[in-house]
Amino acid sequence: MPIKFGLKCHSEKTLKKMNAHERSKLREVPAVVDADAATREKSKAEELEELLKAHRGERHIIVIQSFPDPDAISSALAHQMIAARHDIECDITYDGRVSHHENIALIELLRLQLLHVGENEDLKGYQGSVFIDTQGTTSGLTERLHDAGVPALAIIDHHEPQGMVVARFTDIRADANATATIYTEYLESGLLRLERSDSDHRRLATALMHGVRSETQGLVRAGRNDFMAAAYLAEFVDRETLAAILSNKRSRNAMDVIQAALASRVVRDSYSVAGAGYLRYEDRDAIPQAADFLLTEENVHTAVVYGLVIGGRREMIIGSLRTKKETLNPDAFLKEALGGPQAGRYYGGGRREAGGFEILIGFLAGSHDDEFMQWKWRLYDEEVKRKLWARMGVEKIHQPRGEPPQDH
Ligand SMILES: [Mn+2]
């Protein structure tokens, strides 16, 4: 029997039908104003709009993670601009530091206003809080807002549900790649119609495009919804500004952290684990960059990089996980591997393909003589590695008894 190769033939009629069928599946963004709104379930965009209407004229605090990234910054900007249409004034706040070279460029080139909230600042003046690209677990402001009696109004995020904050409105999509993609959908739904003639709208579109891109490794890992969001944003983006944001260079210190991670990495069963030693608070963003870099080694599907961060308000081990392994859920992985300080609280969590952890040093905090510093690092390094290897199912690896990594 001869075997036929090649594409199946369709009559022109069938093709037309198929195209029409496929076209209808491309994207369904529910419009906010809809005749049958009463009979069907409300879309998230509609729910958010209702919430904003109910809080007209108020002052809200937008909380993003302590170390803001482009996804959080751009989504917060979108929320701020949407809320402004309802006469709601929003401050975009964080309690850590903006350090990644691209984030600094994003904020400076787009002239964004982010508010750093210090330890003694009073938060009682806000009438509501909105958590964006976080569910409160990655900010020190969450507890303070709770203590100040500020009601949690909304959570818009794409990490696995954390259950720490209960808000009146939640849109948590663990299957979304970026919060910026969710906010772009809100814009498309009519919460804010972008106009090319409006320079603020062009700034917003540029920021969101950077948010979507950075969260999907430059769209390489983007899904359909991310491409749809990018396609919508494309006509409003200021390409020169976007290129300028992306062309910013890494600092020398960030390069040093990546070098330390590279030198100390141990690869077993396609897992790459590296303790980068001590690093300065302001270089903390180099850790996820180092994890991204270790993931580029052949035969590595998962990379974990951590370091002992000193010089900030709180001394801690900060780590990042990056994975290409489909079956590895970073959130569950880190929670199971590292546990937490008490029941129901965890040192780490994550979303698809990425996760992070923070372990407070507490009693051992502080800088003393060299020997103390070396022992402290060695202690944490071995314990973090032991827990990670155990969860990975890798047999015990004896650490080389050489000098611990140098302070840098
Ligand atoms: Mn994000």
Give the distance (Å) from ligand 1 centre to CA of residue 300.
23
Range 15-27 average pLDDT: 49
292: left (phi over 0), alpha (psi -120 to 50) or beta: alpha
What is the structure's pLDDT at 212?
Answer: 97
The residue extents of the domains of the chain are 44-246, 252-392
- Residue 399 confidence (pLDDT): 52
Pairing of strands 59-63, 128-132: parallel
Whole-number Å distance, alpha carbon 234 to ligand 1 midpoint, is 20
Q: Which helix (H) or strand (E) holds 119?
A: none
Average pLDDT for 361-387:
93
Please say if the pLDDT value at position 313 is more than 80: no
Residues contacting residue 96 through CB under 8 Å, at least 6 positions apart: 65, 66, 67, 68, 140, 312
- pLDDT > 80? residue 5: no
Task: Read off the pLDDT band of 127 (50, 70, 90).
Answer: very high
At residue 350, the pLDDT reads 87
d(CA 349, ligand 1 centre) in Å: 13
**Distance from Cα 160 to the centre of ligand 1, integer Å:** 11
For the cut 70, the answer to whether the pLDDT of residue 29 exceeds it is: no
The Å distance, Cα 214 to ligand 1 centre, comes to: 9
Distance 96 CA to ligand 1 centre (A): 16
| pLDDT tier at 87, thresholds 50, 70, 90 | very high
Average pLDDT over residues 181-198: 97
Evaluate if residue 230 carries a pLDDT over 80: yes
Highest mean pLDDT (candidates 105-109, 340-344, 387-391): 387-391
Angle subtended at Cα 122 by Cα 120 and Cα 125, rounded to the nearest 5 degrees: 170
* Separation of CA 154 and ligand 1 centre (Å): 16
Distance 66 CA to ligand 1 centre (A): 13
Q: How far is the CA of 19 from the centre of ligand 1 (A)?
A: 34
In this structure, CATH architecture of domain 44-246: Alpha-Beta Complex (3.90)
In 161-310 the beta strands, taken as DSSP E runs, fall at 169-172, 266-268, 271-280, 302-310
Output the CA torsion sign for 301, 306, 312, 316.
Answer: positive
Name the band, by pLDDT with cuts 50, 70 and 90, for residue 227.
Answer: very high
Distance 391 CA to ligand 1 centre (A): 25
Listed residue (60, 51, 52) closest to 145, CA to CA:
60
What pLDDT is recorded for position 33? 62
* 114, 93 contact by CB (below 8 A): yes
**Cα 71 to ligand 1 centroid, rounded to whole Å:** 5
- Condensed to tens digits (0 to 9), the pLDDT of residues 43-53 reads 999 999 999 99
DSSP state of 365: -
User: CA 407 to CA 162: how far, in whole Å?
Assistant: 35
Instruction: Evaluate if residue 191 carries a pLDDT over 90.
Output: yes
* Overall average pLDDT of the 235-251 stretch: 89
Query: Is 252-392 a CATH 3.30.1330.40 domain?
Result: no
- What separation in Å is there between the alpha carbon of 279 and the centre of ligand 1? 24
Q: Is residue 7 predicted with pLDDT exceeding 70?
A: no
Residue 140 vs residues 63, 108, 119, 159: alpha-carbon distances, Å: 10, 25, 9, 18
Instruction: Give buried/exposed letters for 111-123 (b at 16+ CB in 10 A, else e).
Output: ebebeebeeeeeb
In this prediction, residue 11 carries a pLDDT of 46
The alpha carbon of 29 and the centre of ligand 1 are apart by a number of angstroms equal to 21
Provide, rounded to the nearest whole percent, the portion of the chain with pLDDT above 90.
71
Burial class (CB in 10 A: 0-12, 13-18, 19+), 71: buried
User: Which residue type occupies 133?
Assistant: D
277-297 residue pLDDT tens:
999 988 888 999 999 999 999
Q: Which residues keep their CB under 5 angstroms from ion ligand 1?
A: 71, 133, 179
Round the average pLDDT of the chain to a whole number and report it. 88
Long-range contacts of 307-310 (CB under 8 A, 24+ apart): 307/257, 307/260, 307/275, 307/276, 307/277, 307/278, 307/279, 308/277, 308/278, 308/279, 308/361, 308/376, 308/377, 308/380, 309/278, 309/279, 309/280, 309/281, 309/284, 310/278, 310/279, 310/280, 310/281, 310/367
Q: How confident is the model at residue 352 (pLDDT cuts 50, 70, 90)?
A: confident
User: 150-159, 173-182, 343-352 — which is least confidently predicted?
Assistant: 343-352
The whole-angstrom distance between residue 317's C-alpha and the CA centroid of its chain comes to: 19
C-alpha of residue 113 to centroid of ligand 1, in Å: 19
Cα(350) to centroid(ligand 1), Å = 10
- Least confident piece of the model among 374-378, 382-386, 393-397: 393-397
Determine the average pLDDT of the residues in 134-146.
Answer: 94
H or E stretch at 354:
strand 354-360
Quick one: DSSP state of residue 369?
Answer: -
Answer whether residue 397 shows pLDDT above 90.
no
pTM, to two decimals: 0.71
Look at residue 22 in the predicted model and tell me its pLDDT: 47
- pLDDT score recorded for residue 189: 96
